[in-house]
A and B are shown apart, each in its own frame.
Chain A
């Protein structure tokens, strides 16, 4: 699982209105093999995300002081879009109070300017690792949720009882349906959830 996540390395979404810094960081991160998407303003990033129209993989690296939209505002916007990717701020000294506030609001970390060295890249990689891990976790959770969502109400009732180890006949009695019907539901639940036995089903549910 970890291996799969690393091979599928996330992207660094970098937003800085200073082209000098932006280009330098793209170069630095690229030298460490990271993929960087750089934007010159918050709205540019937001436009991109809206165009993509799906959750993106990777981390956000935002400069704090930008015009017209500051890094903090951009953070709020990203939160509003439901994007929970790790987020790092590039901050000058004067921005520290704001950054502290941002950290409280869920930012991953801040990267102090002008210290553009490999420690900075290391921090971004850590963020990426966190993102990758949460992505995998998210993926499992999503899948489980999706599979559960695909069940009909009747199938869910049947599933609960199957997982509890009840026999088809008992289930049929309890739900006042024919045993044959229970068998059909059971087969569908197994197919939708992706298990082959009642024990496997119980294990799948317990992992949640």
Chain B
């Protein structure tokens, strides 16, 4: 099976296709098919937007959490730093107490365990300033002189901070000061736990945002989340700053978003493909619907009924023509099993046997005639052509029949047959009449002679004396019998020629047309071309159309018969024209056949003369009788170019029909 392209458009005129079924939704009709492809895309996009919203919300929550954690970390770190510094101040105080209590000098100060311990632990340097402000002792020594101290400290670990306690004076004098320096970086190094340092960039910054010390080099990146807390009195003008090392990835850069992006891309591609596919499906559907509409239109428009049956004989399809033929709706018929509702009730048995024959596959190839009954009761004559219904694999699945309604044709044939019958009946009657007339004429001659001789003999004998009265009587009887015979002949003739001509105004053109209509078959059978010359101004003649038609029929039929013997093109020319001074209408039937062969008209017209083997020889005699009945004349002659010309003329002048025989006899 060849695979037809579903959307190829055959070159056909446009036709109306029934509308596509629509989905009813909330009172409105939606064309489902074209938008169907977009639904997955729309749903997926909603899902994606949902995911995005969720991501955004999650990011926000993360940021909040991170900030809270950072604040608490910063505060606890600040507390620890403050703690440390406080502790160092206490230790420095303890040193100051030791100095005061033991009256340490510079050397003793240098060997003091507290000092050594402090330097080892935290202090960068410790300086004992006398009450006059001079340095009493400074450890470690290599950090001297004091002027460089700040700078050196700065080199060694960023900015340095210092702790100072006042020494108790002796007596009333002020006791001087102890100043311990420490490196801010050391402070951070010592106090910041590793997990905190891995989590945050921790810096000490001053009031002008300068970094004093930090766990990492450089300043805070702008994108980092940060928090500052003032270190307070222990390290005034300095802030502890925590900047989160771990940056919260913005929601649009998260992995789910990437996956979503990929998903949307794939979905877009899939939707495009789906749309294309839907488009082609839609077009295919459109084409299919057009095709179906065409099929329905064609099947319903057919003048031939179509009927499909399955192998059981169940009607599976009828077209509209078929249904109309019997007056049902197609839906009413489909699915029915025999006996069908359109079978003629009186002929159910025949119909069933015919059905069984058809089902057995024995239906005549060239169709069979059947008779059905329309729903309203009138009979429908049909010709049915059965053929096996075969599927694509060649397997028979049922029976297909085309049904022709021939009721009209049948009626016409019937009418034609009846007309022919009437005509031939007329012809028979006319012929019988003509036979009788001819017989009468032929018998009249001898009867006339007998009667005349008889009367003559009687007259002659009357003049002679002594004639035997018996002879007279015999002669008289003879005369009477001759008269009797004459009357018998007359009666028979009258009986057989009872039909009286119905004289009426008659259009010879119409008569010729009607005659040719009757002879259609003869003309076709003999393959004769008939040319009719119509004179549109032909006046009407007073005549009996039926009889004149018979004359024309006879003449044309004779011409056809004559032409059947020739091989060349057969032609008959018929004309009706006014002749003479307009007193007569002449109807001519000319053929190009063998002609009259020198036979005079008298011979042709003689009763029982025929050139045809099966002819009775009455045709032309009847024609002449009819024509003469109309006071016309029948004539025959050779055509100039070969063939015969028969003609008859009828007077135009309305002649009083002399049909009333009784009156004449009276």
Task: Mark A residues whose CB is within 8 Å of B.
Answer: 18, 20-21, 23-25, 27-28, 30-32, 65, 67-68, 90, 92-94, 96-101, 113-118, 120-121
* Residue of A67, A97, A114, A120 ringed by the most chain B CB atoms within 10 A: A114
Whether the Cβ atoms of A93 and B490 lie closer than 8 Å is yes
CB distance from A26 to the nearest CB of B (A): 9
Contact code string B219-263 (vs A, CB < 8 Å = 1, else 0): 000000000000000000000000000000000000000000000
Contact A114 B460 (CB under 8 A): no
Q: Which of B441, B448, B450, B657 is the one whose CB lies under 8 Å from A94?
A: B441
Query: Taking the nearest CB of chain B, how far is it from the CB of A101, in angstroms?
Result: 6
- State which of B3-11, B479-487, B541-549, B588-596 sits at the interface with chain A: B479-487
Cα A49 to Cα B241 with chains together (Å): 173
Q: A31 contacts B460, CB within 8 Å?
A: yes
Quick check: is B540 within 8 A (CB to CB) of the other chain?
Answer: no
Cβ contacts under 8 Å, B446 to chain A: 20, 114
Residue of A nearest to B449 (CB): A24
Tell whether A28 pairs with B441 under 8 Å between CB atoms, given A97-B659, A101-B658, A115-B451.
no
**Counting chain A CB atoms within 10 Å of each CB, which of B441, B448, B494 scores highest?**
B448
Using C-beta atoms within 8 Å of the partner chain, give the interface range for chain B. Answer: 35 or more
A residues less than 8 Å from B628 (CB atoms): 98
B493 touches A (CB below 8 Å)? yes
Check B451–A27 contact: CB distance below 8 A.
no
B655 within 8 A of A: yes
| A-contact 0/1 string along B602-618, CB 8 Å cutoff | 10000000000000000
A20 touches B445 (CB 8 A): yes
B449 with A20: CB separation less than 8 A: yes
User: Nearest chain A CB to B176's CB is how many angstroms away?
Assistant: 188
- The reply to whether B658 and A97 contact each other, CB–CB distance below 8 Å, is yes
User: By the criterion CB–CB under 8 Å, are B483 and A68 in contact?
Assistant: no
Question: Cα distance A30–B489 when bound, in Å?
Answer: 28
Measured in the bound complex, the distance between the Cα atoms of B450 and A21 in whole Å is 9
Q: Is the CB of A93 within 8 A of B440?
A: yes
Q: When the two chains form their complex, are residues A101 and B486 in contact, meaning their CB atoms are under 8 A apart?
A: no
Q: When the two chains form their complex, are residues B493 and A121 in contact, meaning their CB atoms are under 8 A apart?
A: no
Chain A residues positioned under 8 Å from B457 (CB to CB)? 31
Looking at the assembled complex, report how far the CB atom of B361 sits from the nearest CB atom of chain A, in whole angstroms: 65
Complex contacts, B631 vs chain A, CB 8 Å: 98, 101
Task: Please give, as numbers and ranges, the residues of chain B lying within 8 Å of A94 by CB-CB distance.
Answer: 437, 440-441, 493, 497, 625
Residues in A neighbouring B444, C-beta threshold 8 A: 92, 113-114
Residue contact A96 to B486, C-beta cutoff 8 Å: no
Q: Which residues of B, 437-472, contact A by the 8 Å Cβ criterion?
A: 437, 440-441, 443-460
Given A93-B490, A97-B629, A114 and B455 contact (CB-CB distance below 8 Å):
no
- CB of B441 within 8 A of CB of A65, answer yes
Known contacts A20-B446, A28-B459; decide if A116 and B452 are in contact (CB<8 Å). yes
Kindly supply a per-residue 1/0 record for chain B positions 411-441, scoring 1 wherever the CB is within 8 Å of any chain A CB and 0 otherwise: 0000000000000000000000000010011
Inter-chain contacts of A90 with B (CB < 8 A): 448
A67 contact set on B, CB distance < 8 A: 602
Residue numbers in B under 8 Å from A114 (CB-CB): 443-448, 450-451, 482-483, 485-486, 489
- Which residues, 471 to 506 on B, are CB-close (under 8 Å) to A? 479, 482-483, 485-486, 489-490, 493-494, 497
Q: Which 8 A-B pairs have the closest CB atoms?
A: A116-B452, A114-B447, A31-B459, A24-B452, A116-B451, A97-B658, A114-B448, A24-B449
A117 to B657 Cα, complex, angstroms: 30
Inter-chain contact B452/A100, CB cutoff 8 Å = no
Q: Which of A27, A97, A99 contacts B452 (CB 8 A)?
A: A27
Q: Which residue of A lies closest to B601 (CB)?
A: A68
> Once the chains bind, are A100 and B493 in contact (CB under 8 Å)?
no
- Cβ of B28 within 8 Å of any chain A Cβ, yes or no, is no
A20, A25, A32, A98: the one contacting B459 at CB < 8 Å is A32
Instruction: Tell me if B15 is interfacial: C-beta within 8 Å of chain A.
Output: no
Q: Which residue of A lies closest to B446 (CB)?
A: A20
Note all chain B residues with C-beta closer than 8 A to A24. 448-453, 456
User: Does B661 have its Cβ within 8 Å of any Cβ on chain A?
Assistant: yes
A101, B655: Cβ atoms under 8 Å? yes
Chain B residues, Cβ within 8 Å of A30: 456
A23 to B455, CA, bound (A): 13
A117 to B448, CA, bound (A): 9
What residues of A have a CB within 8 angstroms of the CB of B453 in the complex?
A: 24, 27-28, 116
| Known contacts A21-B452, A30-B456, A96 near B661 by CB under 8 Å | yes
Taking CB as reference atom, which chain A residue is nearest B441?
A92
| 8 A-B pairs (CB sep. < 8 Å) | A20-B446, A23-B449, A24-B456, A93-B440, A96-B664, A101-B655, A116-B448, A117-B451
- Nearest chain A CB to B445's CB is how many angstroms away? 5
Identify the interface centre among B444, B452, B602: most chain A CB within 10 Å of its CB: B452
A90 to B460 alpha-carbon distance, docked (Å): 23
B482: which A residues are within 8 A, CB to CB?
A: 114, 116
Across the interface, name the chain B residue whose C-beta is closest to A103: B664
- In the complex, what residue of chain B is closest to A65 when comparing beta carbons? B441
CA–CA, A206 to B345, complex, Å?
99
Assess A21 versus B455: contact at CB under 8 Å? Given A93-B493, A94-B625, A96-B664.
no
Name the interface residues of B16-43: CB closer than 8 Å to any CB of A: none
Contact check, A113 vs B459: say whether CB atoms are below 8 A apart: no
Interchain nearest-CB distance for A96 vs B (Å): 5
Return chain A residues, CB-CB under 8 Å to B458. 31, 118
**Which of A25, A96, A97, A120 has the largest count of B CB atoms less than 10 A from its CB?**
A97
A60 CB to closest chain B CB (Å) equals 18
B430 to nearest A CB, angstroms?
13
Question: Which of A20, A65, A98, A121 makes the CB contact (< 8 A) with B455?
Answer: A121
Nearest A residue to B483 by beta-carbon distance?
Answer: A115
A115 to B482: give the CA distance in the assembly, Å. Answer: 8
Cα-based distance from A32 to B494 in the complex (angstroms): 33
What residues on A are CB-neighbors of B447 within 8 Å? Answer: 113-114
Q: Within the complex, what minimum Cβ distance (angstroms) separates B456 from chain A?
A: 4
Please give, as numbers and ranges, the residues of chain B lying within 8 Å of A120 by CB-CB distance. Answer: 452, 455
Q: Determine the chain B residues whose CB is within 8 A of the CB of A115 once the complex forms.
A: 448, 451, 483, 486
CB of B658 within 8 A of CB of A100, answer yes
Q: A96-B661, A101-B655 are in contact. Are A31 and B456 (CB under 8 A)?
A: yes
- Chain B hits for A99, CB < 8 A: 664
Given contacts A94-B437, A114-B447, contact A31 B455 (CB under 8 A): yes
Once the chains are docked, how many angstroms separate the CA of A107 from the CA of B449? 24
User: B131-168, CB under 8 A of A: which get 1 and which 0?
Assistant: 00000000000000000000000000000000000000
Are B452 and A25 in touch, CB under 8 angstroms? yes
Taking the closest CB of chain A, its distance from the CB of B503, in whole angstroms, is 11
Kindly provide the distance from the CB of B25 to the nearest chain A CB, expressed in whole angstroms.
94
A21/B664 in contact, CB under 8 A = no
Residues of B within 8 A of A68 (CB): 600, 602
Residues of chain A with a CB closer than 8 A to B452's CB:
21, 24-25, 27-28, 116-117, 120
CA distance A101 to B664 in the complex (A): 11
Chain A residues with CB under 8 A of B490: 93
